[in-house]
Structure 1
Amino acid sequence: MKPLKVVLVTVLAGSISIGTAIFGQKWLGETPLVEGLSDRTQSRLHTLPDFRLTDLDGREVASNAWAGKVIVLNYWATWCPSCLEELPLFVSAQKALKDSGVQFVGIAVDRAEDVRAFIAEHPLDYPVLIADLQAVELSKKLGNRLEGLPFTAIFDRHGRKVFSQLGPMTESELQTQLATLVAPSARRSASAD
């Protein structure tokens, strides 16, 4: 290969790498390599906003219905295998922690009739709401930049987001996140179950 071609290929490869790094970070919402490239912190939410979604009976439910509680907001769907794997963990945690002020809330990114059929066979003991476009946008603002499922966000009793994760949660991850938010006596009784 001629020296000029080697230089051109090297410059082209370097340009592609730098461009990918800058725009890849922009796409993923990471801090840009070039200072001032964009400021996405304004669009990110650090507190649970007021929102209204319908439940499986078609009733509108407002997010302030759980004010003063630790809220575990979980986006899921009946067609998502990872989502279905973590649901039993959330059901047992809701049962164990309901008296300690922890409220799980499912947001199904699915058709209401599919969710109703699923819940008829696999009951959930916490509210399930049906996502709309605003709910999907809310998940992005809460940290779900890839819009994947399952996605979980946890809020303290003051509505401040303390955790978010794309992908299924394990029991130890959930316990770790809730440990500092739940009273010690409630944690002991939950571990005894």
Structure 2
Amino acid sequence: MNPAKVLVVTVLAGTLSIGAALFGERWFAKQDIDLSGRGDDGRIATLPDLRLPDLSGQEIASNAWGGKVVVLNFWATWCPPCLREMPMLDELQRGVDAGELQVVGIAIDAREAVERFLAENQVEYQILLGDADTVALSRRLGNRTGGLPFTVVFDPLGRRVFSHTGEITADLVRARILPLLDQETG
């Protein structure tokens, strides 16, 4: 084959390949198919299937929170910002119908430390015990630095709608969580 024919065949094959790839990408986008199970930013886009123990050792599964706004808050007893935001999260849980909201504190800490802390600082929301796999999960949920506290919020359909590394504020609760609950934002 002469070099001109090789060049034409190569360009034609390349053009067809690129065209097929572009068509496929657009087709999948129109079908709203997520082949990876992740959002556009690579983070987990839906409430994961969690199964973690509470302080009594009972395993709690995330499917128990179906149909509710879910606030997962990763924390530790040795983390001052974590401890500062806990009263606000407790107030949030107490102020909203339990059928609409579930705040879940996931302690990245030793069971004994969590038990001592909660004996002196009672909270109304659910506290579960995390481990190394739970820390890895927090990273897949958007906690790039692995810092604490880390909060991620899911809407009633289980879609991740917000995540924040660091202490959350009342302003963030008003702006990002209360609208999901049809509560006053003022």
**Same fold, TM exceeding 0.5?**
yes
- Cα deviations by residue, 1:113-169 (Å, 9 ceiling, x for unpaired): 110111110001011000012211110000001000000000000110000000000
Mapping for residues 8-87 of structure 1, pairs under 5 Å: 44-87=43-86
What residue identity is the alignment partner of 2:146? Answer: E
**Residue 41 (structure 1) shift:** 5.7
Query: Counterpart in 1 of 2:125?
Result: 126
Structure 1 counterpart SS, 2:96: helix
**Residue 179 (structure 1) shift:** 2.8
Task: Give the Cα–Cα distance (whole angstroms) in 1 for the partners of residues 171 and 47 of structure 2.
Answer: 24
Number of equivalences: 148
Check 1:56–1:99 CA distance in 2 against 1; reply closer, same or farther (3 A cut): closer
Query: Counterpart in 1 of 2:174?
Result: 175
**Residue 178 (structure 1) shift:** 1.4
What residue identity is the alignment partner of 1:107? Answer: I
- Note the aligned Cα RMSD (angstroms): 1.9
Query: Counterpart in 2 of 1:21?
Result: none
- Cα deviations by residue, 1:52-97 (Å, 9 ceiling, x for unpaired): 0000001111011111100000000000001000001001111101
Task: Give the Cα–Cα distance (whole angstroms) in 2 for the partners of residues 49 and 64 of structure 1.
Answer: 9
Identity in percent: 47
Query: Counterpart in 1 of 2:93?
Result: 94
- In structure 2, runs of 5+ residues without a counterpart are 1-38
**1:107/1:129 contact within 8 Å kept:** yes
TM-score normalised by L of structure 2: 0.75
**1:55/1:61 contact within 8 Å kept:** yes
Structure 2 counterpart SS, 1:158: coil
**1:109/1:131 contact within 8 Å kept:** yes
Check 1:127–1:162 CA distance in 2 against 1; reply closer, same or farther (3 A cut): same
Task: Give the Cα–Cα distance (whole angstroms) in 1 for the partners of residues 98 and 57 of structure 2.
Answer: 27
Structure 1 counterpart SS, 2:102: strand
- In structure 1, runs of 5+ residues without a counterpart are 1-39
What residue identity is the alignment partner of 2:45? Answer: H
Check 1:83–1:42 CA distance in 2 against 1; reply closer, same or farther (3 A cut): closer
